[in-house]
Amino acid sequence: MLMDVDLSGFVREGDDGARRIDFAIDGMTCAACIPEIENALKKIPGVAQARVNYSNSRLALGWKNDELDPAVAVEKLRVMGYVAHPFELAEAESRDAEQARYLMRCLAVAGFAAMNVMLLSVSVWAGNISDITPETRDMFHWVSALIALPAAAFAGRPFFTSALGALRRRSLNMDVPISLGITLALGMSVVETARHAPAAYFDSALMLIFFLLCGRYLEQAMRQRTRAVAGNVAALRSPLATRIAADGALVQTPTARIEAGDLVLVRPGERAPVDGRVVSGASEVDESIVTGETAHRRIGVGDEIYAGVMNFSGALQVRARAAGAGGFLDEIERLLEGAASARSRYVGIAERASKIYAPVVHLTALATAAGWLLLGASVHDAVVTAIAVLIITCPCALALAVPAVHVVTSGALFRSGVLLNGGHAVERLAEVDTIVFDKTGTLTLPEPRVANADEFPADLVEIAARLARSSRHPLARALAQQSPAGAPYDDAREEAGAGVAATVEDVEARVGSAAFCGVDPGDIAASGASTICFRHGAAVAVFEVHQALRPDAVDVLSTLRAQGYSVEIISGDSQAATEAVAKRLGIADWRGGARPSDKVARLETLKAQGRKTLMVGDGFNDAPALAAAYVSLSPVTAADVAQAAADAVFLGDRLAPVRRALEVSRLARKLMRENLTIAVVYNAIAVPLAIAGHVTPLIAAIAMSGSSLIVTLNALRAGRDAVIERADAADRDVRDLRGPTVSDERSGSRSRAAA
Partner 1 sequence: MTILLFLVPIALMLGLTGLAAFVWSLRAGQYEDLDGAASRVLFDDDVDAQQR
- With contacts defined by CB under 8 A, name the span among 53-61, 277-285, 491-499, 563-571 that binds partner 1: 53-61
Q: What SS3 state is found at 577?
A: helix
When asked if residue 95 is in the footprint of partner 1 (CB under 8 A), the reply is: no
Residues 703-742: x where in contact with partner 1 by CB under 8 A, - otherwise, as a string: -------------------------------------xx-
Tell whether residue 52 is a contact of partner 1 (CB under 8 A).
Answer: yes
Fill in the per-residue mask, 123 to 162: x = in contact with partner 1 (CB under 8 A), - = not in contact: ----------x--x--x---x---x---------------
Closest separation between CB of residue 112 and partner 1, Å? 4
Per-position x/- string for 341-360, each x denoting binding to partner 1 as judged by CB under 8 A, each - no binding: --------------------
CA distance 25 to 546: 31
Among 5, 6, 54, 540, indicate the residue that binds partner 1 (CB under 8 A): 54
User: For residues 101 and 694, which CB has a smaller minimum distance to partner 1 in the complex?
Assistant: 101
> What is the smallest separation between the CB atom of 159 and partner 1, expressed in angstroms?
20
Q: Please tell me the distance from the alpha carbon of residue 569 to that of residue 581, in angstroms, as a whole number.
A: 9
What would the 3-class secondary structure string for 5-46 be? ECCHHHCEECHHHEEEEEEEEECCCCCCHHHHHHHHHHCCCC
220 binds partner 1 (CB under 8 A): no
By C-beta, is 114 or 391 nearer to partner 1?
A: 114
Q: Is 39 in the site for partner 1 (CB under 8 A)?
A: yes
Return the number of the residue (115 or 698) whose C-beta is nearest partner 1.
115
Distance (Å, rounded) from C-alpha 656 to C-alpha 550? 10
Among 13, 14, 43, 53, binds partner 1 (CB under 8 A): 53
CB–CB of 271/242 below 8 Å?
A: no
Collapse the DSSP code of 500 into the 3-class scheme (helix H, G, I; strand E, B; otherwise coil) and give the result: strand
Which range, of 28-36, 441-449, 523-531, 647-655, touches partner 1 by CB under 8 A?
28-36
Our CB check for partner 1 shows the closer of 136 and 378 to be 136
In this complex, which beta carbon is closest to partner 1, that of residue 31 or of residue 367? 31
Task: State the nearest-atom distance from the C-beta of 197 to partner 1, in Å.
Answer: 20
Query: Rounded to an integer, what is the distance from CA 236 to the centroid of its chain?
Result: 14
The answer to whether 58 and 25 have CB atoms below 8 angstroms apart is yes
| Catalytic residue status for 438 | yes
Choose between 118 and 567: whose C-beta lies nearer to partner 1: 118
> What backbone torsions phi and psi does residue 3 show, to the nearest 5 degrees?
-135, 150
- On whether the CB atoms of residues 309 and 285 are closer than 8 A, the answer is yes
CB of 24 to partner 1, least distance (A): 14
- Given the rule CB under 8 A, which of 105-113, 204-212, 597-605, 617-625 is the region that contacts partner 1? 105-113
Residue 534 pairs in a beta bridge with 511, 541
For 156, the 3-state DSSP assignment is: coil
Among 78, 101, 267, 472, binds partner 1 (CB under 8 A): 101
Q: Is 585 a residue that touches partner 1 (CB under 8 A)? A: no
Q: Which of 559, 727, 571, 740 is nearest to 653 (CA)?
A: 727
Which of the 8 DSSP states describes residue 454?
G
Q: Binding of partner 1 at residue 31 (CB under 8 A)?
A: yes
Q: How far is the CB of 673 from partner 1 (least distance, A)?
A: 34
Instruction: Choose the binding region for partner 1 from 84-92, 108-116, 653-661, 704-712 (rule: CB under 8 A).
Output: 108-116
Note whether 482 and 545 are within 8 A (CB).
no
Which of the residues 55 through 94 are near partner 1 (CB under 8 A)?
55-56
Nearest distance from C-beta of residue 174 to partner 1, angstroms: 27
Secondary structure (DSSP) of 535-559: EETTEEEEEEEE--B-TTHHHHHHH
Count residues binding partner 1 (CB under 8 A). Answer: 26
* 72/39 Cα distance (integer angstroms): 15
Contact at 8 Å (CB) between 704 and 208?
A: yes
Q: Which is nearer to partner 1, 112 or 516 (CB)?
A: 112
Separation between Cα atoms, residue 182 and residue 388, nearest integer Å? 11
Decide: is 116 part of the binding site for partner 1 (CB under 8 A): yes
DSSP percent split of the chain into helix, strand, coil, nearest 5: 55, 15, 30
Cβ atoms 408, 215 nearer than 8 A: no
Alpha-carbon Rg for the chain, nearest whole angstrom, is: 31
Q: Give 143 or 529: the residue with its C-beta nearer to partner 1.
A: 143
By C-beta, is 111 or 417 nearer to partner 1?
111
Say which amino acid occupies 555: D
First to last CA, the chain: 22
Distance CA(735)–CA(270), nearest Å, equals: 21
d(CA 46, CA 112): 45
| Residue 28 vs 382, nearer CB to partner 1 | 28
Task: For the CB of residue 110, give the shortest distance to partner 1 in the complex, in Å.
Answer: 10
Catalytic one among 262, 275, 438, 647?
Answer: 438
Name the pairing type of β-strands 276-280 and 283-286: unpaired
Q: DSSP states of 242-281 as a string?
A: EEE-TTS-EEEEEGGG--TT-EEEE-TTPBP-S-EEEEE-
Contact flag: residue 115 with partner 1 (CB under 8 A): yes
Backbone φ and ψ for 496, nearest 5 degrees, come out as -55, 130
Q: What is the DSSP string of 295-350?
A: S-EEE-TT-EE-TTPEE-SS-EEEEE--TT-SHHHHHHHHHHHHHHHHHTT---HH
Nearer to partner 1, 131 or 505 (CB): 131
Shortest CA distance to 617 belongs to which of 601, 639, 595, 591?
A: 639
In one-letter notation, the amino acid at residue 234 is A
Options 108, 245, 366, 367; binder of partner 1; rule CB under 8 A: 108
Nearer to partner 1, 144 or 530 (CB): 144
Q: Give yes or no for a contact between 541 and 533, defined as CB atoms under 8 angstroms apart.
A: yes
Nearer to partner 1, 133 or 344 (CB): 133
- Shortest CB 407 distance to partner 1, Å: 17
Provide, rounded to whole angstroms, the least separation between the CB of residue 143 and partner 1: 6
Q: DSSP secondary-structure letter at 755?
A: -
**Rounded to 5 degrees, what angle do the CA atoms 210, 215, 220 make?**
120
Neighbours of 101 (CB within 10 A): 12
Does 267 bind partner 1 (CB under 8 A)? Our answer is no
Select the residue interacting with partner 1 from 105, 267, 298, 472 (CB under 8 A).
105
Q: Interaction with partner 1 in 370-399: which residues (CB under 8 A)?
A: none
Enumerate the β-bridge partners of residue 271. Answer: 310
Q: What is the DSSP letter of 566?
A: E
Q: Quick check: 34 binds partner 1 (CB under 8 A)?
A: yes
Stretch that binds partner 1, among 114-122, 270-278, 503-511, 609-617 (CB under 8 A): 114-122
Binding site for partner 1 (CB under 8 A): 31, 34-35, 39, 52-56, 101, 104-105, 108-109, 112, 115-116, 119-120, 133, 136, 139, 143, 147, 740-741
> Which residues are marked as active site?
438
